[in-house]
Structure 1
Amino acid sequence: MRWRLFQQKPIRVSRAFTIAVFTTLSAITGFSCSKNKDVLVTEIGVTSPNPRPAKTSKAGEFYIQGQNQHVKGDLQTAIASYNQAISLNPQYGEAYNSRGLAYFDLGDKKRAIADYDQALSINHNNAEAYNNRGNARASLGDNKAAIEDYNEAIRLAPNYAEAYNNRGNAHAANKDQKAALNDYDQAIRLDQKYVIAYNNRGNARAANGDPQGAIADYNQAIRLNSNFAPAYNNRGNARAANGDKPGALKDLQKAAAIFKKQGNNDLYQQVMNNIQELQ
């Protein structure tokens, strides 16, 4: 996904960027910003699997242990626990899927995909594994394969809001804003409190030349989560595109303050650079 420059008339912000948010069933979220200036920021964070019933087997105990370590951000230790679970039960599809999530959060997308492949070889109807593999493929730039995975996840789980949102991101990356909007609409119909989907639909509307519609979506994202920095940043860009310099500055300053508080220095600095240029 690429940085999007807004068409700005009375106000010019030459390095304005939008933040699209890409989820993989996150429990603890964070932001990763590529050093490549052509890459749009995506949310990957510490991604824990869905809670599962406690298992009585020894393999199940290692699996639950890995989940708890993952949520705490101790990824290497979580992987070691998943390894133990898999060594005791080589057909433990959930452990492969969860280990894939841990590898994804470590940035090792190829190992993540290998684990999702294994999970799917054990259970062809694992919608979560398809969604997660789609996320990994999208993060590597293979949006076509990602969309195929999201399609399969949605076929297996028609009410899977996150898969619609993620497929929307892949369509947006392919410059198919109409398909992206349709997917974000469906994600929001399924979950009317889906902050990330509102933010991403706002981005698609802005890219489609609808800054007012974009602002409405960012407003809703902020109403649902007043500390969601990407929506403030993106609303600031949309307001700048509309010539509302005071409103744009206020939003960008709010985004910068949240990113600073979160310790996200990369995004904080990028927003501060935009503020300086806008001033």
Structure 2
Amino acid sequence: MLRQMVRSRNVRQLLAIAGLSLSLAACQTAGLNGTADFDRNAGTADNIASLNQVIAQNPNDANAYNIRGTAYGRSGQYSLAIQDFTNAIALNPNFHQAYANRALIYKKTNSPQQALSDYNRSIMLNPSYDVALIGRGDLFRTQGDPGRAITDYNQAIASKTRDPRAYYYRGLIFQQQRNHSQAIEDFTYALSLDASNSDAFNARGLSYLAQNDMRGALGDFSNAVRLDRDNYRAWTNQGLALEKEGDYKRAYDSFQRAKAIESNYQPAIDGMNRTRKRRFN
């Protein structure tokens, strides 16, 4: 009976038992922390043990390897993740999701050329695959090629992606180019798709600050630190906005909070030095 269950038409049931659905095949989450990241809690030992059984019983199922690779990636076992994605591709050379997943691991392990090659292959197989377009765009962005990055983000957006990273990362480029109005528009749309991300509020707050919109900036920095009490950059930026408003006591408190989280963060240290005496005036 068990052998019948592991046939391809029933592999989905076994994967569900393992605690991972087929929707995890893309493996990238929508975290807006600069690079696509994994949820480490999803790659539990129990899930991996169950997936080991699935693969042992059905060793030619490419999707099972792809999903176990996802679990390995989420638990930080990157070499094992690469092995599984490579096995998935060997079994199904047109598996565009597995190429994108392996690309993400290569990107996380500082192998940008291998990552680019896999993203290119994934996009060649499926030109509208938003996960690969956003991933490659992020690779271009972090490698200092904003033009090609924006092209990929635009293509992902044209494919009607619901992934907020496309807008967030494009907004970061606009912000670097001092196009703050467009950056704010992108950050706002990203937040409409995911209002729980501290970094997006912090980024939009910086563009409001650049436009001297203190109310908008302080509101966003407050939301950023509310969502992530350890976001020392947002605490520092809140301090900058308060300092600009002349509220030196609260500014000092914000800088101090940032330094308590990241003791060597120079902008927070500098802010404390500027406001230490003035907070008593």
Match of 1:44 among 14, 29, 35: 35
Unaligned runs of 5+ in 2: 1-27, 43-50, 277-281
Which residue matches 1:217?
220
Q: How many residues align?
A: 233
The AA in structure 1 aligned to 2:29 is L
1:133, CA displacement in angstroms? Answer: 0.9
Unaligned runs of 5+ in 1: 1-23, 30-41, 261-267
User: How big is each residue's C-alpha offset from its partner over 1:130-171, in whole Å with a ceiling of 9 and x where there is no partner?
Assistant: 111111111111111111111111111253322111111111
User: How big is each residue's C-alpha offset from its partner over 1:51-76, in whole Å with a ceiling of 9 and x where there is no partner?
Assistant: 9xx99653222212211111112223
Contact 1:187 1:194 in 2 (8 A): no
Q: What TM-score results when the alignment is normalised by the length of structure 2?
A: 0.73
1:179, CA displacement in angstroms? Answer: 1.0
Contact 2:85 2:101 in 1 (8 A): yes
1:104, CA displacement in angstroms? Answer: 1.4
Residue 246 in structure 1 maps to residue 237 in structure 2? no
The AA in structure 1 aligned to 2:269 is N
The AA in structure 2 aligned to 1:43 is G
Max Rg structure: 2
- Structure with the higher fraction of residues in helix conformation: 2
* Higher RCO (CA-CA < 8 Å; seq separation 6+): 1
User: How big is each residue's C-alpha offset from its partner over 1:219-250, in whole Å with a ceiling of 9 and x where there is no partner?
Assistant: 12223333333321221222223233222221
CA distance in 2, matches of 1:238, 1:272: 13
User: How big is each residue's C-alpha offset from its partner over 1:13-64, in whole Å with a ceiling of 9 and x where there is no partner?
Assistant: xxxxxxxxxxx7356x8xxxxxxxxxxxx73374469x9xx99653222212
The AA in structure 2 aligned to 1:270 is Q
1:271, CA displacement in angstroms? Answer: 5.0
The AA in structure 2 aligned to 1:156 is S
The AA in structure 2 aligned to 1:111 is Q
Which residue matches 1:146?
149
Which residue matches 1:110?
113
* Structure 1 residue matching 2:212: 3-state secondary structure: coil
Taking a change above 3 Å as real, the CA distance of residues 68 and 187 of structure 1, as seen in their structure-2 partners, is same
CA distance in 2, matches of 1:111, 1:206: 38
1:119, CA displacement in angstroms? Answer: 0.6
CA distance in 2, matches of 1:229, 1:45: 20
Which residue matches 1:277?
273
Taking a change above 3 Å as real, the CA distance of residues 161 and 44 of structure 1, as seen in their structure-2 partners, is closer
Percent identical among aligned pairs is 28
Contact 2:240 2:271 in 1 (8 A): no
Taking a change above 3 Å as real, the CA distance of residues 188 and 71 of structure 1, as seen in their structure-2 partners, is same
The AA in structure 2 aligned to 1:125 is S
The AA in structure 2 aligned to 1:186 is Y
User: How big is each residue's C-alpha offset from its partner over 1:177-234, in whole Å with a ceiling of 9 and x where there is no partner?
Assistant: 1111111122223333343221110011112222332111111222333333332122
Q: What do you get for the CA RMSD once the two structures are aligned?
A: 2.7
User: How big is each residue's C-alpha offset from its partner over 1:105-137, in whole Å with a ceiling of 9 and x where there is no partner?
Assistant: 122223222211111111112011111111111
CA distance in 2, matches of 1:272, 1:170: 24
Taking a change above 3 Å as real, the CA distance of residues 110 and 244 of structure 1, as seen in their structure-2 partners, is farther
Which residue matches 1:85?
88
